[in-house]
Chains A and B, each alone.
Chain A
Amino acid sequence: MSNPTADWERVGDRFYRKIKLYDAVFDQDLELENYVIAGAPCAGAIALYRDEDKLHTYRGSQASKTGIDIYSCAGKLIRRINWDKGSIRGLGWSEDEKLLVVTEDGIVRCYYDLQGDFTQFSLGNGAEQHGVKACRFWSTGFVAILSNNRLIAVSHYNEPRPKLLAIPPEATVHSWTVIPPAYTLSRSVEVLLAIGQTIYVVDSSEAEDRVLPNGPFKYVSVSPNGLYVTLYTEDGKVWVITSDFQNKIGEYESKAKTIPKDVQWCGNDSVLLVWEDEVHMIGPDGALLKYYYDGWVHLLADIDGVRIMTNDVCEFLQRVPSTTEDIFKLGSTSPASVLLDAVDQLDKKSPKADENIQLIRPNLPDAVAACVYSAGQEYSTHWQKQLLKAASFGKSVLDLYSSDDFVDMCEKLRVLNAVRDYRLGLPLSFEQYERLTAEKLIQRLINRREYLLAIRLSDYLRLPTNKIYVHWASQKVRNSTADEGAICETVVKKLANKRGISFEYIARAAYDEGRSHLATQLLNHESRAGKQVPLLLSMSEDELALDKAIASGDTDLVFFVLLHLKKTLPLASFFRLLTNRPLATALVESSARDQDQSLLKDLYYQDDRRLDGANLLFSEALAQTAPQTKVDKLKLAAKLIADNTKDPTTSLYHKSFSEAQALIRLQTTLDNDLHGGEKVYTGLSLNATLHRLILTTHAKRATKVASEFRVPDKTLAWIRLRALVAKRDWAELEEIAIKNKRSSIGWEPYFNEILGAGNTKLAGGVFVAKCTGLTARERSDMWIKCGMITKAGEELLKARDAEALEDLRSRASGGGVGEIDKMIAQLRPKR
């Protein structure tokens, strides 16, 4: 086995390694120099597109057909996408391997599954008129620059919202790049534009000149962690500064005559300059390393290194991780390195193995950890094994060791080795895998239709497999040529007893493919009623959709269906759908009450709900302002229920409608007569009207009105009482008491109300005596309430109630005591 240090190169004080991932990548005929190339982050797929600006040999009509080719890193063609939408100005990937294609006129296509399915949106903001010049992508979004230097940012592809950034000066942009939102202070994307001598930093609110004197800069590039920026000047100097433009980290003179083709970061501490077949690496402190190739070179930057693509090879260039460096560096004496050596000795059955262990005993746990970690960094299975063996040997010596990390690493390496196979071409580094997560890796496999491996891996990693099955099934229903019944059967058979299967998704795939019968069949297997609804609606299965929505219990869904149906169906058939569906009717009613009263009227008419219709007209009457229109509405309401007079409710309605009309007329008259048209009476209830009339000394009129409306005597008596008390018309009250022997409500209320108003004299003087129905004690209490102790005593004396008198005496004070004593004395039997 070759030494792991064989592909290491020293750059300054550290090592870089170039790992050959795959060879014979592209067809030798493919002229890489004529292609635009973009690679998805984390060792994802590669998109190639024939650069329109380059000349190409004429090969007849066939060659004029352009397309975007998607390859794996190993050069396997995954998919060819035909392209006829005009010239492409931006080609890039998102972190979840969506391919973004931006055309000159601002149309963005998002190919989300590597299989040619896409969503599309438009950039707007003037992109159409001015044309897109170029685009820069980051993990979740991109920025497009228009020919007039306007910048449009899209920060996510799920419901994308293109936003115009602040407007930079209109001058030639020498080069530009973006700092992803995750790394900026403002948490929104920042764009670096090299204009003139300097750099402008543009975000959503402002375009700021950073006033650099050394431009023009031909290249601007941001390090993967967003902390550093490298600038390449026209005269061949490379500058490295912090991304806040505060500090200069380094400067390097490239002495190159020609401007490089590309400038990229490799990890976070070195910069690569690329000419056609030459790569220069500039490490910290200006150390230089040169690589030469046979053919054209493309660089694909990743989070922890750079993928180098040529026709022949796909290589990964990265800094050697320090733990790995410690283990394999020539002459290393680090504990981990000694441990690795010990395994070697063990294989040779040499006693030095034990000596080694004893040597590093105190550092053994660290050594084991280092070996485990370094195993992850190796691409060669031999060295992975060797390192894990070392770790395993080391941990067997330790008394206490948690094997979690070890087991974890074994598991991850198994996954990594499986997907690194050239047939898949996903050469993930450990770092990238950690960043990507297992779930997303599975998703990548699904998109590549590697279902078997995906399922195996999911099972191995204890992840849910439902998505894989669903994806498989939806591909099946789209592409299978078998007859529909058979497809449905295969799918259902395969997915039976699997948890979390979304038949709705599969059915939608079938429907989109034009197989609506199959879609319906599949939909029947969907257990979540709510999920079926939107698809059913787009299939115009209105009634079924409504029923499923109701079954789901989600009123939002029902409401949604109803809104849709109201729009698409004629009113009559809409109402027909509502019959026998009380929930739907209730929802329509309750929303129409707020927004669409005429719909409600139609609904009541259709269902012959006269009373509800009358109610509706009645509330309309309430909303009217002019007395006459109120009356008119009331008449209309009355007419609606005219045929039905027998029902007690209806008869009440009739009576109330006509009374309400009469009251409105009466109040209008009163307002005109008594207040010169000012609305004083309008809006009052009947009782309140009476009350007001009495209060304002129109008692006669009140009596007349009361009899017109047949107000009960008792009610009128109460109203009069309250009004007179409110008016403090004691004379009138006294007169009532004198004139009448009996009152329809008794005299007690008079007493209470008058007392409540504070007139003890009238209450006690007149009304206590009238309450003949009460007992002596009660009457005496009434006297007491008026503060007339003596009278209270007399009352009790009359009733010869000695006991109560004694009680009264204890509550009396001053002169009253004497009087009561006298009364008590009167009651005592004479001796």
Chain B
Amino acid sequence: MAPHSGINTDDIREKARKDLLDLLEGVRGKKNLVIEKSLAGPIGIFVKFSTLQDHGVDKVFFLENDNVDASQKNVIFLARGEKANQPIAVAEQIKRLQKQSNIDHEFSVVWVPRRTLVCNKILEEAGVLGDVGVEELPLHFIPLEQDVLSLCLDDCFSDLYLRKDPTSIFLAAQALMPIQQAHGLFPRIIGKGDNAHRLMELLFRMRSEAAADESTTSKFGLMPSASVESLVIIDREIDFATVLLTQLTYEGLIDEMFGIQHNQAEIDSSVVGPAPGAQQSGRTPAAPAQQGLKRKIQLDSFDKLFEQLRDTNGAIVDGLLNKVARRLQSDMESRHTAKTTSELRDFVNKLPGYQTEQQSLKTHIGLTEEIMKNTQGDIFRRTLEVQQNLYDGSDPSYQHDTIEELISRDVPLTAILRLLCLESCISGGLRPKDLDNFKRQILHAYGYQHLLTLDALEKMGLLSSRASANVLLNPIGMGGGAAEATKTNYNYLRRVLKLVVDEVNEQNPNDIAYVYSGYAPLSVRLVQSIIQKQHLLTITKGASAASNGVSSAAHGWQGFEEALRNTKGETFNRVQKGDDQAVKARHMLAGTGGKAKTVVVMFLGGITFTEIAALRFVAKSEEGRRKILICTTDVISGDRMMEAAIETGDFGRG
């Protein structure tokens, strides 16, 4: 591949596909595939079930269901090997099959993304290591879209912040290394947050280890990339508040209401109508086309209409849909005006296109109606009102009555917790008395098991009492201290980074704040502070300040040091240098062509659809100068964040 072509996500998709199919081909004949549930979705993104069948897969089972049968001699397990659970499950099922069935099974286990020492040990201790062929499938990033790569680690959020298990950081580093190998070193690694810092250190360590590793050739690791400008790592921990807000872009709203997983949403067919033929099914393995209640809807850029709508503010979607409907109508009408046969043929050629467009239009109208029903409801409005008042910086205690009322009205627990956590994040904790009061109300309303939920939230730092928020809250006191902030000070940042934009134009947005109808996500503001310095200075300090403030040549965090000091976690900015001579030689060869370089933005701990929309907005205004590639451990939402903490058991057993 030419070194200048930039990072192509299609290549990643194609490689993943080929790797998987090669592994399946490696086992001769028909085979049963046992797959870990959390892998089914990601794999469905790049390979269809019918393709698996073409490669000899007879039936697909979920590992969690423990129901693989003896119908085929060959059994392939596909699971992640980082934790002990899956290897144990695999070992048990192999033993069960060996005992139950009278055929001599051929087992293979494919570990994703790598064969770990732990799974070796577990299989060995279970006494089955000798009977299975062990392979690995280096599946790291999975392209959700042209500009979005995800590791699809569902548990990443709770692992990282609740259990403090940094496996996902390591996996992220492992996923980023191939990008460096293919495109050269990231010339600059810059980021914010303790976990982000750890990831940066890991990347440096891996680079030096790769150099020391005998298996790699000495060519690697000498030169900074010519096509990549920098790697920006944002730790989710520095900005929880953004996730807690209700997402207001179209895609965000769908996610809030129906949940989007791996580009798919399961939606009641009364909302979107029944599936159009069988073409939708088979997109994921082991997902029999569910007739009747729920329907799986593919939400990605193959749907041209959705691509147009996804990042717009939900408030204007109905208008856009109207426009599209009218255009489609007139297109369809054009057949009556068609006079010559060639015109008619033209029309007929376009007909399939119109039909799919009409189908997708129908789907999205159904979705929009359902969403509007919800957004016009009392509870949604009140929730939004509380959120807005909170990020506007008004006294949070005025919101308490509303929150209490919502608790009494038995709205879903996630909604309540999101509001409380939002308050806690923005104002640096709740007053101990209020917190205690809310906790008791939650326990009464939702059950005592949520004592564990609340404990988990406190461990994640999402919910805290103001007393324990020892420092901070006083931006003036922060000035001289070199120490890292232990909490993100939104009250200060709201002013400095202009997080709240009052006059936001939803039709033709002029600022990223449109994604929350008036609030600009802090995480994306920080990215802007690196790549859109001038622009950001203009909106925060006015045009005059921008011109004499920071020169356009400034890089790193320059100009925003103060803001960073008020954000949680470590700040870093490191340059990766290569061999001097090699760099010089390349400069001679390549010249300083003005090609658009890519900025890789890595969100550690998850990203929301609104943030993706905001980053796309930034990318659009930077078009021609740079491209943005979004990487993340997973796509999250406030609800999924809360679910990481919520205790699912209750006292109802028995």
Contacts and interface: CB of A to CB of B under 8 A. Distances in A.
Interface of A: 159, 161, 186-188, 464, 466-467, 470, 499-502, 527-530, 552-557, 559-560, 563-564, 582-583, 586-587, 589-591, 593-595, 611, 615, 618-619, 621-627, 630, 648, 652-653, 655-656, 659-660, 663-664, 679, 682-688, 691, 709, 711-712, 714-715, 717-719, 722, 745, 749, 752
B163 A586 contact: yes
Given A590-B163, A619-B452, A622-B649, A718 B409 contact: yes
Residue from A501, A529, A627, A687 having most chain B Cβ neighbours under 10 A: A687
B451 A626 contact: no
Contacts of A464: 214, 217-218
A430 B473 CA distance: 78
A413 B143 CA distance: 48
A683 B432 contact: no
Nearest to B445: A687
A560 B117 CA distance: 6
A499 B212 contact: yes
Interface SS majority for chain B: helix
Interface stretch (B198-206, B304-312, B315-323, B367-375): B198-206
A687 to B, nearest CB: 4
Nearest to B165: A590
Identify which of B130, B198, B441, B443 gathers the most chain A CB atoms within 10 Å of its CB.
B443
Nearest to A596: B84
A563 B84 CA distance: 10
14 contacts: A464-B218, A501-B214, A563-B121, A564-B121, A587-B165, A627-B654, A652-B436, A656-B448, A663-B651, A683-B651, A685-B446, A685-B448, A718-B408, A722-B409
Contacts of A621: 651
Contact of A470 (B163, B167, B198, B214): B214
Contacts of B439: 652
B83 interface: yes
A555 to B, nearest CB: 4
A188 B28 contact: yes
A500 B167 CA distance: 26
Contact of B444 (A528, A594, A595, A715): A715
Nearest to B217: A464
- The list of the 4 closest CB pairs from A to B, nearest first, reads A683-B652, A625-B654, A718-B408, A685-B447
A648 B651 contact: no
A648 B445 CA distance: 21
Interface in B175-228: 198, 201-202, 205, 208-209, 211-214, 216-218
Interface string B211-253: 1111011100000000000000000000000000000000000
B479 to A, nearest CB: 31
Nearest to A653: B451
Contacts of B88: 595
Given A470-B214, A559-B118, A626-B654, A648 B436 contact: yes
Given A553-B170, A556-B118, A685-B446, A501 B212 contact: yes
A566 to B, nearest CB: 11
A467 B452 contact: no
Interface string B55-92: 00000000000000000000000000111110010000
Nearest to B450: A685
Nearest to B205: A553
Given A564-B121, A627-B654, 9 more contacts: A464-B214, A502-B213, A553-B173, A560-B116, A591-B84, A594-B83, A623-B649, A625-B653, A685-B447
Contact of A685 (B208, B445, B451): B445
Contacts of A502: 212-214
B653 A683 contact: yes
A619 B131 CA distance: 38
A709 B651 contact: no
Contacts of A624: 653-654
A287 to B, nearest CB: 41
B352 to A, nearest CB: 42
B19 interface: no
B412 interface: no
A663 B649 CA distance: 16
Given A500-B211, A709-B444, A555 B651 contact: no
A593 B217 CA distance: 42
B82 A556 contact: yes
Nearest to B212: A527
Interface string B104-145: 000000000010111001000000001101100000000000
A555 B170 contact: yes
Contacts of B213: 500, 502, 528
B652 A187 contact: no
A691 B410 CA distance: 10
B450 to A, nearest CB: 9
Nearest to A717: B408
A591 B83 contact: yes
B440 A652 contact: yes
Contacts of A559: 84, 117-118
Contact of A500 (B117, B118, B216, B452): B216
A659 B448 contact: yes
B651 A553 contact: no
A529 B170 CA distance: 14
The listed residue with most B CB atoms (<10 A of its CB), out of A500, A626, A663, is: A500
B444 A187 contact: no
A715 B407 contact: yes
B491 interface: no
A537 to B, nearest CB: 10
A445 to B, nearest CB: 17
Contacts of B11: none
A615 B455 contact: yes
A152 to B, nearest CB: 14
B159 interface: yes
Contacts of B85: 594-595
A464 to B, nearest CB: 6
B572 to A, nearest CB: 16
Nearest to A690: B444
Nearest to B114: A556
Contacts of B647: 619, 622
B209 A528 contact: yes
B580 interface: no
B84 A186 contact: no
Contacts of A188: 28
B202 to A, nearest CB: 5
A530 B436 CA distance: 46
A752 B444 CA distance: 24
Contacts of A556: 81-82, 114, 116-118, 167, 170
A709 B440 CA distance: 11
Contacts of B209: 527-528, 530
Contact of B653 (A467, A554, A623, A688): A623
Interface string B133-163: 1100000000000000000000000010001
Nearest to A683: B652
Nearest to A502: B214
Given A556-B117, A619-B452, A656-B443, A186 B651 contact: no
B643 interface: no
Interface in B300-343: none
Nearest to B437: A712
A217 B345 CA distance: 72
Contacts of A590: 159, 163-165
Given A648-B436, A687-B445, A709-B444, A619 B118 contact: no
A712 B438 CA distance: 12
B379 to A, nearest CB: 11
A630 B651 contact: yes
A659 B209 CA distance: 56
Interface string B372-414: 0000001000000000000000000000000011011110000
A711 B654 contact: no
A687 B444 contact: yes
B359 interface: no
B564 to A, nearest CB: 24
